[in-house]
Copies of this chain bind each other. A is one copy, B any other.
Amino acid sequence: MRPSDIPEIRALGLFRSMSDTAFEALMQAAYHQTFPAQLELIREGDPADFLYVVTEGGVELFARSNGREATMGMVNPIGTFILAAVLKDAAYLMSARTCQKSKVLMIPAENVRAAFEADEAFARAIVVELANCYRSVVKEHKDLKLRSAIERLANRLLRYHQDQGANGTLELPYDKRTLASLLGMTPENLSRAFNSLKPYGVQVDGTRIELSDLDGLTALAKPNKLIDDRSS
């Protein structure tokens, strides 16, 4: 199957409005490959050779400096990553590795930049995409600067709960070590944070979480539209 046969890719905000010819040109040049779990797809500092689209599985974005490492974000199907580096023809700021066995579409950076030059609708779609990415990072930055570890966890639980139907239970989408790093804390501390949330009706059983006191948890979390809302 050719990548352009995947309607979900064509339906992405980034590609939806571009011309058929420009889209086909991008897809012709692209590679659609399957990678095993824990494979490092890109390394920060390397020149941006490809724009990536995750079509199956999941990818973790992370950064290293000195000995330390921090998870910067997770990309799930269907999502793209490192668009900014590709457009700027600059070095990647983040590394990426597969969490599970994953299928990834790789579009050569040159072709993306060519399409950006040639196709006005694509250029406009990129603006929207970048504005969204930008606002997401600002929100994460606020989350980290303005909240304690427990508050970050509480808000994250409320978010997953909402995403998954708000029926009183939720499934953690990642293992706890990854979640901890994503929230900017150690696995040990995440475990203790879950314990501190027990009085607020948070029951943990592996990756399955039960929320029996939503009001209490919400009062603790004090969610803020300008940090937690995914859209807008």
Chain copies in the assembled complex: 2
CB-defined contacts of A171 to chain B, threshold 8 Å: none
A14-B124 Cα distance, complex, nearest whole Å:
15
Stretch among A160-168, A192-200, A220-228 lining the B interface: A220-228
Of B44, B90, B127, B225, the contact of A127 (CB 8 Å cutoff): B127
| Contact indicator per residue, chain A 196-232, by CB within 8 Å of chain B (1) or not (0) | 0000000000000000000000000010111100001
Nearest Cβ on chain B to A164's Cβ, whole angstroms: 25
A16-B147 Cα distance, complex, nearest whole Å:
40
A145 nearest CB neighbor, chain B only: B70
| Chain A residues within 8 Å of chain B by Cβ, number | 49
CB-defined contacts of A146 to chain B, threshold 8 Å: 63-66, 68-70
Contact A87 B145 (CB under 8 A): no
Nearest Cβ on chain B to A221's Cβ, whole angstroms: 10
Of B94, B141, B222, the contact of A66 (CB 8 Å cutoff): B222
A147 nearest CB neighbor, chain B only: B65
Judge if A75 is at the interface, Cβ distance under 8 Å: no
CB-defined contacts of A25 to chain B, threshold 8 Å: none
A93-B214 Cα distance, complex, nearest whole Å:
26
Of B124, B138, B225, the contact of A137 (CB 8 Å cutoff): B138
Of B69, B84, B139, B147, the contact of A134 (CB 8 Å cutoff): B84
Nearest Cβ on chain B to A183's Cβ, whole angstroms: 11
Judge if A2 is at the interface, Cβ distance under 8 Å: no
A132 nearest CB neighbor, chain B only: B88
A141-B144 Cα distance, complex, nearest whole Å:
9
Contact A91 B142 (CB under 8 A): no
A65-B120 Cα distance, complex, nearest whole Å:
39
Nearest Cβ on chain B to A134's Cβ, whole angstroms: 4
Q: A-side interface residues toward B, CB under 8 Å?
A: 44-45, 63-66, 68-70, 72, 83-85, 87-88, 90-91, 93-94, 116, 120, 123-124, 126-128, 130-135, 137-142, 144-147, 184, 222, 224-227, 232
Q: List 18 A-B contacts (CB under 8 A).
A: A44-B226, A45-B225, A45-B226, A63-B142, A65-B142, A68-B146, A72-B145, A84-B131, A87-B127, A87-B131, A88-B132, A88-B135, A94-B138, A116-B127, A127-B130, A134-B134, A137-B138, A141-B141
